[in-house]
Structure 1
Amino acid sequence: MMKKLGLTVLIALFLYSASGFSQAKLKFGHLNSNDLFALMPERDVAQKTLQDYSKQLEDQLVAMQDELEKKYTDYQANQATLTDVVKKTKEEELTAMQQRIQTFQTNAQQELQKKESELLKPIIEKAKKAIEDVSKENGYTYVFDTGTGTLLYWPKDADDIISLVKTKLGIK
């Protein structure tokens, strides 16, 4: 019994000292990636490009809707004088235009999302690389992102490395 207790204490002491030793080597850092991203000048350029593209798509949509509205108004004004065959043709044309507009809206939303991904990907990659470089250069074992809400543990002595990453990116 005493031998078992001694062995248990010895194992516990070994585990305690080993865990204390390994924890002493760990260096934690944290930053808010949303704050970092907001400071990157490339983000403003990407947002402007995306807004311009969105405006282009919106202008095309408005032009299509205006054309549909004009044709519909014309159809309603002349409906009484049109033959059944012409009425049917005009109605089919209006329906087809409406469907094209709906398809355009769906495709425009998808294209806008695709464009956003294309514009943001290199910026995100640049930030990731800077974070990785700073982490390696400064000996961080773990760096937590406080901007994503996924932070599980944040020791009081962890360092906020956003200033180091900003310097790495040349941001003041």
Structure 2
Amino acid sequence: MKSLIKVLLFVGLMFSFTGLSAQKFGHIDFAKLYSLMPGQDTIREKYQQYANGLRAQMEAMQTEWESKLADYQSKSSTMTDLIRRTKEKELQDLQARIEAFQQQASQDLQAKEAELTTPLIERAKKAIQDVAKENGYSYIFNSAEGLLLYSPPADDILPLVKKKLGIKD
């Protein structure tokens, strides 16, 4: 009975180790793949146009504030207290609007970047998944993250994914 248990335990361990050895691991430099994908120029242009529009609006607000400040400084000595307080409040409100615009513009730029890059990233991920399935890989690691301390060049699937996406060298 004890020998039967030992044999069953040994067979069970053998099956679990063979299951582990059947897994295939690969890696890809996702940043390199992404940089090679067509469409980068279009993304950059659209992002730049959007950023330029926000920058122009910001500059207009800044110019308005500077103009009102110069006007206030040149006439403040002749203003009544009521007008001076009104002008100061106007300058403070405009400054607050400028600061709020800067914060919102920063968030909008991040959202625009995500909106523009997400389709390309998803396309790359899909190609990686397809190549992994087609070539029997269980796991694919991103070598750009620096987590791989060693990997054989044969396990780099970048050439396969580039081929899948139609990217030429």
Structure 1 stretches of 5 or more lacking a match?
A: none
Cα offset for 1:25? 2.5
Equivalent in the alignment of 1:159: 155
Q: Partner letter of residue 96 of structure 2?
A: Q
Alignment partner of 1:147 is 2:147: no
Runs of 4+ that moved beyond 3 A? 6-9, 153-158
Count of equivalent residues: 168
Per-residue CA shift, 1:46-99, capped at 9, x if unaligned?
Answer: 122212211221121122111101110111011111122211111111111101
Per-residue CA shift, 1:81-129, capped at 9, x if unaligned?
Answer: 1122211111111111101101111110111111111111111110111
Q: Partner letter of residue 31 of structure 1?
A: I
Could you tell me whether the CA contact under 8 Å between 1:30 and 1:158 is conserved in 2? no
1:22-33 equivalent positions in 2, closer than 5 A: 22-33=19-30
SS class of match (1:29):
strand
TM score, norm. by length of structure 2 = 0.87
Equivalent in the alignment of 2:135: 138
Equivalent in the alignment of 1:113: 110
1:123 pairs, out of 113, 117, 120, with 120
Cα offset for 1:43? 2.8
CA RMSD of aligned residues (A): 2.2
Structure 2 stretches of 5 or more lacking a match?
A: none
**Residues 92/16 of structure 1: CA separation in 2 closer, same or farther (3 Å cut):** same
Alignment partner of 1:169 is 2:158: no
Equivalent in the alignment of 1:98: 95
Equivalent in the alignment of 1:86: 83
Could you tell me whether the CA contact under 8 Å between 1:28 and 1:155 is conserved in 2? no
CA distance in 2, matches of 1:38, 1:140: 24
CA distance in 2, matches of 1:148, 1:134: 20
Q: Partner letter of residue 106 of structure 1?
A: Q
Q: Partner letter of residue 135 of structure 1?
A: A
SS class of match (1:140):
coil
CA distance in 2, matches of 1:7, 1:97: 85
SS class of match (2:145):
coil
Alignment partner of 1:52 is 2:21: no
**Residues 158/9 of structure 1: CA separation in 2 closer, same or farther (3 Å cut):** farther
